[in-house]
Amino acid sequence: MDKLVIEGGGPLLGEVRISGSKNATLPILAATLMTDEPCTIRNVPRLRDTMTMIKLLKSLGKTVEFNENEVRVSSKGSLNYLADYKLVSTMRGSFCVLGPLLAKLKRAKVSLPGGCVIGIRPVDLHLKGLKNLGAKFEFEAGYVMGKTNSLKGNYVYLGGDFGSSVLATANVMMAAVLARGETIIDSAACEPEVEALADFLMAMGAKIKGKGTSRITVNGVKKLHGANFSICSDRIEAGTFVLLAAATKSNITLTGLDYTHILALIDKLQEAGLKFQHADGWLKVKCQRNLKPTSITTYPYPGFPTDLQAQFTTLMAMTPGVSIITDKVFPDRFMHIAELNRMGANIRRDGNSAIIQGIKTLYGAPVMASDLRASAALVIAGLAAKGKTEIHRIYHLERGYENLEEKLVKLGAKIYREKE
Ligand code: UD1
């Protein structure tokens, strides 16, 4: 296993290109199960999660080629209906093959993804929505077994205790595309990744209205055809680089991003005193002065994203004054606090909030990455801290950040990998 070593404390400078969105890629690759014709997906990030989804598609019977950042999916025969535990348990995004398999094969056996360090993460909304379309489910040995005689359009309400669900919306929308008649999904997730999936499905011949809103209407079609599609930029990677620029007091220009996807973050950072310049496709962050402590609460899109909560916590940990970080989407997502405190931060957890008494400087220390975004928060802390930081268990980072070390070295960071 590798660890990351960072010599922190210096500002960074330069330009970084934002990769394609991981969370858009995963359901879009799953959607290719719904056609027998070839699909070509461009701007696909080369990540561990992408490779896991490709392995899953291959195990289900698809032929997949991945060159540079382009994925070609084609069919070589009939599909399998079994999504194995080994592939689904390592990545929750795999569960979004359930809707496509039910739509195409009328049956599916998909491993339940289980919880992870950021929370229990149930799938009740996925199953409720698919049941509304006529699927029946049984559970056996950690698998959910779904079948249907035929899927039929219906009214589906997808609001849960923590708001809308991104992947439940994806699963139900995909199944509805090949169902008979009209489906209305209410309290649908509005995330750009769900919009991207709707765009891909429409490129395949689906009839969808209301993408990007909380009410999505799908009129079922008999068949989908192949499509060529380009994945949108990763708003969470973009937000991570913005927060990294702020924490290291750097001048960084992000290119290839959609600025409108991170308005909730930009707004909070402007409140903290950070200045931005932007135009179509780029965003310049220039941080020279101290910021003001700023509180955030995470919500589903267009609210502040839970996937940037840990990274924002790092920034506020080194911003003198009190700020409060509340996570309403994943109330237990606070594994990074203990590690940041090992670097000198003063953060206390209270229920679904982190109370931060910000200090001027963090100090390098050996720390342990617990999950993908917590790892990004520790990289930011390491780059901003005085002295040397060693981050263990960095395989989490490879799940979601394409060429992170290369990108950081290009910006002047002193960061390298060592064998444990
Ligand atoms: C997706 C993202 C993840 C992000 C999350 C929230 C992918 C691959 N992952 O995950 O990076 O952090 O959205 O923006 O796109 N819930 C239920 N019942 C369900 C489903 C969800 O109660 O059936 C709850 C969850 O526990 C959580 C909240 O709803 O509290 C939102 O989760 P959800 O939007 O479903 O997250 P994912 O789609 O799994």
Q: What is the pLDDT of residues 90-116, one digit of tens each?
A: 899 999 999 999 999 999 999 998 656
d(CA 349, CA 11): 30
87 token code pair: 């592939």
Roughly how many angstroms between the first and final C-alpha of the chain, as a whole number? 6
The pair of three-digit structure tokens given for residue 381, joined into one six-digit string: 């802390």
Question: How is domain 2-18+233-419 classified at the CATH fold level?
Answer: UDP-n-acetylglucosamine1-carboxyvinyl-transferase; Chain (3.65.10)
Q: Which of 127, 129, 134, 128 is nearest to 110 (CA)?
A: 127
- Residues 29, 54: Cα–Cα separation, whole Å: 8
**Residue 140: partners with Cβ closer than 8 Å, 6 or more residues away:** none
d(CA 59, CA 325): 41
The structure tokens 């101290």 sit at 290
- State the Cα–Cα distance between residues 318 and 304, nearest whole angstrom: 20
C-alpha 72/C-alpha 49 separation (Å) is: 17
Which pLDDT belongs to residue 290? 86
Q: In whole angstroms, how far apart are CA 263 and each of 260, 267, 303, 400, 419?
A: 5, 6, 9, 21, 39
CATH architecture of the domain with range 22-230: Alpha-beta prism (3.65)
- Rounded Cα gap, residues 192 and 198, in angstroms: 10
The SS3 call for residue 54 is: helix
Query: Rounded to an integer, what distance in angstroms lies between the CA atom of residue 385 and that of residue 315?
Result: 11
Q: Residue for token digits 């913005």?
A: 242
Pocket probe for ligand 1: among 52, 96, 166, the residue whose CB has the most ligand atoms within 8 Å is 166
For residue 15, the cross-strand partners are 253
Contacts of 120 (CB under 8 A, 6+ apart): 332
pLDDT of residue 420: 84
Topology match between the domains 2-18+233-419 and 22-230: yes
The pLDDT assigned to 76 comes to 86
Q: Secondary structure of the chain: what % helix, strand, coil (to 5)?
A: 35, 30, 35
Nearest CA to ligand 1 atom 25: 121
- Confidence (pLDDT) at 417: 94
Report pLDDT for 263. 97
Exposure letters 351-366 (e unless 16+ CB within 10 A, then b)? ebbbbbebeeebbbbe
Domain boundaries, given as residue ranges, for the chain: 2-18+233-419, 22-230
> How many angstroms is it from 371 CA to the middle of ligand 1?
15
DSSP letter for 346, please: -
Task: Give me the mean pLDDT over the 343-351 stretch.
Answer: 98
- Band of pLDDT at residue 131, cut at 50, 70 and 90: very high
Residues whose beta carbon lies within 6 Å of some atom of ligand 1: 23, 26, 92-93, 119, 121-126, 160-162, 165-168, 193, 306-307, 329-330
Looking only at the bridges linking them, the beta strands covering 143-147 and 136-140 are antiparallel
Residue 162 pairs in a beta bridge with none
> What is the model's pLDDT at position 114?
64
**pLDDT at site 115:** 59
Tokens of 178: 């090949």
Alpha carbon nearest to ligand 1 atom 34, residue: 165
The CA 118 to ligand 1 mean position distance, Å, reads: 10
Q: CA–CA separation, 317 vs 311, rounded Å?
A: 10
**Residue 116 is a catalytic residue:** yes
Atom of ligand 1 nearest to the CA of 124: 23
- Burial class, 261, CB count within 10 angstroms (exposed 0-12 / middle 13-18 / buried 19+): buried
Of ligand 1's listed atoms, the one at least distance from the Cα of 26 is 8
Distance 165 CA to ligand 1 centre (A): 5
Return the half-sphere exposure (C-beta side, CA atoms, 13 A cut-off) of residue 125: 24
- 254: CA distance to ligand 1 center in Å? 27
Q: Where are the alpha helices (H) located in 215-301, listed in sequence order?
A: 235-247, 263-272
Which residue lies with its CA nearest to atom 15 of ligand 1? 23
CA-closest residue to ligand 1 atom 5: 166
Catalytic residue among 116, 190, 232, 287: 116
Structure confidence by residue, pLDDT tens digits, 232-272: 999 999 999 999 999 999 999 999 999 999 999 999 999 99
Ranges assigned E (strand) in 9-124: 13-17, 39-42, 62-67, 70-75, 82-83, 107-111
What is the Cβ-side half-sphere exposure of residue 397, based on CA atoms within 13 angstroms? Answer: 22
336 class by beta-carbon count within 10 Å (0-12 exposed, 13-18 middle, 19+ buried)? buried
Closest ligand 1 atom number to CA of residue 121: 26
Which residue owns the Cα nearest ligand 1 atom 21? 165
CA 236–ligand 1 middle distance (angstroms)? 15
pLDDT band at 119 (very low <50, low <70, confident <90, very high): confident
- R_g of the chain, CA atoms, integer Å: 21
Q: Which helix (H) or strand (E) holds 170?
A: helix 166-177
The length of the chain, given as a count of residues: 420
Q: How many CA atoms lie within 13 A of 298 on its CB side?
A: 24
> By percentage, how much of the chain surpasses pLDDT 90?
92
Pocket test for ligand 1, best of 164, 301, 329, 373 (most atoms within 8 A of CB): 329
Residue 378 Cα to ligand 1 middle (Å): 23
Q: How far is the CA of 166 from the centre of ligand 1 (A)?
A: 6
Mean pLDDT of 176-180: 98
